Structure 1
Amino acid sequence: MRPDYHGNPASPKRTSHERAHQLVFTDRVIATLVILRFQLPHAALAVFYGVDRSTVTRAVHEIRPLLAARGFAVPGEAGLRLHTLADVFAYASAKGVELRLDGTEVRVRRPKAGGPGRRAFVSGKIRQNTKKATVVTDGQGRTLWTGAIRPGRMHDQTAVKTEGIEALFEQYPQVKAKVDAGYRGLAKRFPDQVTAPPKKPAKDASAEEITGWEEARKKQSSERICVEHANAEHKQWRPLQRYLGRREYYDQTHLAIAGLVSDRAAER
């Protein structure tokens, strides 16, 4: 070993495995929460903790899937968490909860040119590369479940159908939900359970028909707005405003954030 400029023996260079042990479990959790909240570069937190960037990255890869797998807190039910859409329907059926459904999308990195499935991420709504998720809340806007995360090109209703929502409505005929116009097909198939905004009258409709439509639309919107508030609460977290990481880690990131938000929302 070469001595340092004071003439003292230099300390041996530590391997990345040795540096990883400098972050105790609590610090790994805190570092992951900070990155989820603010989307800070891993290198910035590495400087703060005095470790290598790879140590922070390893900590995030360890903690993030644990947070994503926690599920969603149930209001008034300490220790009970919902993990699947089937869990949500069973809970809504048992407690008489009317559900609210809405889709949300977040911009992600553009896939590599020439790669397979590149167009699958282009949203037909905002013409950007996105990933979509379905959010389910109760009538107070408390997150009960987030999932059906799919590339942005897939329609909101198609995404939630892949989670078996039609079979769940059939299994739980007493469960009701309010949705936006993107789920009008569900409302048409389950008219006694799913409520969507009324269709806009034809151009030659009378003034009375237009007035009645506007009143019905505003009433349905005011009853459904709580799920929009839940989406806005999720997007207070920087990665869900625009995700800058690798797309393959987006699902974990979204689920981890939504689960953390549900913990706070369940206390309301």
Structure 2
Amino acid sequence: MATQAKVPKAEGKNNHDNVDEQADKEQQEAIEQIDEVQNEIDRLNEQASEEILKVEQKFNKSRQPFFQKRSELIAKIPNFWFTAFVNHPQISALLTEDDEETLQYLTKVEVQEFEDIKSGYKINFNFDSNPYFENEVISKEFHLNDTGEPSSKSTTIKWKPGKDLTVKSSTPSKGGRKRNHDEGEQETFFNWFCDHADAGADELGEVIKDDIWPNPLQYYLASEIDEDTGGDLGEEDDLDEEGLDDEEGDEDIDGEDEDLGEDEEGGDEDEG
């Protein structure tokens, strides 16, 4: 009896194993088919990227005359680029007082995408004659080689004696704040020009190229918009407060009238 009891258990186990094998086989076939479909999707994505790049290159050329016209108009507005940078939340967080003083001599910013857009771009900063450095133009370039490896290079800044903002100093700044640092690298916007450690993750370059450059006017006007909005809100708040005061005043007057009426009625009854 014991031997007979074991036989059906073995057969059941074999059946279960066969079911598992079939299920594994079907899953493997499904995975292989998914991989084939995914390869087709990847090929289409690659083709789409090539087509998108062609369109982008075409319209990049079409935009150039408008960028040129915009630059000519911007040149008529003092401190346009300085104001746009100071109003930008990410860039303003990087600026020291000395940076802000230096950027007031900034007259023009220009982003030049290379003819083969995916190979990189260049950002030019044009300055008026200033007490900080000799350069009229300071540039930083970003490149992608054939293997897709990023790199960057930039203009060497020719600092005037004692004006190198990238070197720490123990002297007070013009704003009165003292920099108690040893000799070494100073935190400043201009460190960006000599930072080539990770060109593929250069957030500042991407912000200027993709955020500020397409529409710098929105950041130039940002402070004015904030002030206008704040002013309007303030006036509404004042009006609301005045309205509440008036309502409270009316209630007080009504309450006084009611009290007076009750007193008068009470007085008449006493006299009666």
Q: Give me the TM-score of the superposition, normalised by structure 2.
A: 0.26
Relative contact order higher in (CA < 8 Å, ≥ 6 apart) = 1
Q: Which protein is bigger by CA-based radius of gyration?
A: 2
